[in-house]
Each structure stands twice: as structure tokens, then as C-alpha cells.
């Protein structure tokens, strides 16, 4: 995800956001720093946002179009590859 974000961070067609579940900003920030991640994130100290989209699967990737319609969902079984996500973004840009 980080590589996909870096490739598209200046493209106004896409927004990337990682949402934590029951994690403080400091905890998520430390993990991001440790793994040299650049993706924007929203640390959530409770599970309110998480519970709207997931129950127990982490990570979970939603690909949402400009109108807010979910076009694809990737779980960790199998987790989307960089190539799959890049292909999806490319195809969607052509629509």
C-alpha cells in the first residue's frame, strides 16, 4: 500500500487513508516510523469507525470511487498486491 500511495500521492483522483482500531496516535505513529510508512493515517482510540467497515479482518482495503461507491474490497486472504492495486487505479482512471 505504501508503494501505491507513493506512486499516486500527487494524483488528485485518489485519496489514501489508513484507519486504526483502538490505537493511540502515538502507537500508530511509532509503527509508521518503525516501518518507514508515508501513508496518511487516522488513529482511532476506540472501534467506532472500525466497526462500520470490519469485524475482525485486518488489514482490510476498500477501494472507493469518486462518488463514494465501494468498487473493491481486499482482505488479508489474499491481500492485494501492489500490481493489482496499480492495475485497478489505472483502469479506473480510464473510465
Contact 1, 16 (CB under 8 A): yes
Backbone φ, ψ for residue 73 (5° rounding): -130, 130
Tell me if 53 sits within 8 A of 62, measured CB to CB: yes
This prediction's pTM: 0.76
Per-run averaged pLDDT (10 residues), the chain, 95 residues: 90 82 91 94 87 76 79 80 88 72
Q: What is the pLDDT of residue 38?
A: 93
As a whole number of angstroms, the distance between CA 27 and CA 16 comes to: 20
Q: What is the pLDDT of residue 21?
A: 83
Q: Where are the domains of the chain?
A: 2-79
Q: Cis peptide before 56, with omega less than 30 degrees from 0?
A: no
pLDDT at position 49, please? Answer: 85
Q: What's the pLDDT at 88?
A: 84
Q: What is the pLDDT of residue 31?
A: 93
- Looking at residue 95, what is its pLDDT? 65
Amino acid at each position: 500500500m505504501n508503494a501505491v500511495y507513493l506512486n499516486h500521492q500527487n494524483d488528485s483522483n485518489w485519496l489514501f487513508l489508513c484507519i486504526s482500531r483502538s490505537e493511540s496516535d502515538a502507537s500508530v505513529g511509532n509503527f509508521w516510523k518503525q516501518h518507514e510508512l508515508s501513508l496518511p493515517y487516522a488513529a482511532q482510540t476506540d472501534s467506532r469507525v472500525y466497526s462500520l467497515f470490519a469485524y475482525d479482518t485486518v488489514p482490510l482495503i476498500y477501494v472507493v470511487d469518486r462518488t463514494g461507491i465501494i468498487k473493491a474490497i481486499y482482505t488479508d486472504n489474499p491481500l492485494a498486491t501492489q500490481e493489482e492495486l496499480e492495475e485497478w487505479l489505472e483502469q479506473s482512471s480510464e473510465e
